[in-house]
């Protein structure tokens, strides 16, 4: 199993979204949070499966168009507010554009069909797999099945009523999705921040 870094594996986002507070309440100090965030810095930014599938949390970067140039990035850093590491964590596909467009997230880019086709051609990959955006059905194809978003958190934040999915790719490059819903406890529409003590 290989864990990839995502935009939440950072000091800033893990503080804003409650992980910092959860650690403090559970352990009485923030030392464990420091160990977690130091570990986040070492997580891979992307992965290539059998030379054919490029996996990344967010998306592509106009500053790194080949896998070889992505490999040269110094990943042992906090995710910066801009630049190629930020782009890999924060960028999203956009079906209605061809090239690049600034993202409304204020980090990363929106990228279109032409960007994906060029990346696949330059790097000789057949598919890009990413996460980062909630999709109601658990997964969503883009650009004539050249890119897929796979979302793994059902009923996100206890209120989105979305499905989640796992993608399996066999040695013949056949793709199979396992789609699943939330557990009964997770189906309740509640304020997840009020549940913080439950996790401690």
The single residue of 8, 30, 132, 142 carrying the catalytic annotation is 8
**In 152-172, which positions are buried (b, 16+ CB within 10 angstroms) versus exposed (e)?**
eebbbebeeebbbbebebeee
Nearest-angstrom CA–CA distance, 137 and 158: 16
Q: Rounded to the nearest 10 degrees, how much is the dihedral formed by the CA atoms of 53, 129, 81, 78?
A: -70
Q: 134: phi > 0 → left, psi -120 to 50 → alpha, else beta; which?
A: beta
Q: Which residue has the tokens 């690049």?
A: 100
> Is residue 142 annotated as part of the catalytic site, yes or no?
no
**In 117-145, which positions are buried (b, 16+ CB within 10 angstroms) versus exposed (e)?**
eebbeebebebbbbbbeebeebbbebbee
Positions annotated as catalytic residues are: 8
């Amino acid at each position: 199993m290989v864990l990839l870094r995502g935009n939440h594996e950072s000091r800033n986002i893990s503080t804003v979204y409650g992980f910092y507070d959860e650690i403090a309440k559970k352990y009485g100090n923030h030392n464990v949070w420091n160990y977690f965030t130091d570990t986040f810095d070492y997580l891979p930014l992307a992965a290539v499966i059998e030379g054919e599938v490029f996996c990344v949390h967010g998306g592509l970067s106009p500053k790194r168009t080949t896998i070889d140039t992505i490999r040269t990035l110094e990943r042992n850093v906090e995710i910066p507010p801009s630049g190629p590491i930020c782009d890999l964590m924060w960028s999203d596909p956009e079906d209605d554009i061809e090239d690049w467009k600034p993202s409304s997230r204020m980090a990363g880019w929106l990228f279109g069909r032409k960007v994906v086709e060029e990346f696949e051609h330059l790097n000789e990959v057949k598919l890009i797999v990413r996460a980062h955006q909630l999709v109601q059905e658990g997964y969503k194809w883009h650009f004539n099945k050249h890119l897929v978003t796979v979302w793994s958190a059902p009923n996100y934040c206890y209120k989105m009523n979305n499905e989640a999915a796992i993608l399996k790719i066999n040695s013949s490059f056949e793709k199979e999705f396992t789609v699943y819903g939330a557990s009964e406890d997770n189906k309740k529409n509640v304020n997840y921040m009020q549940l913080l003590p439950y996790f401690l």
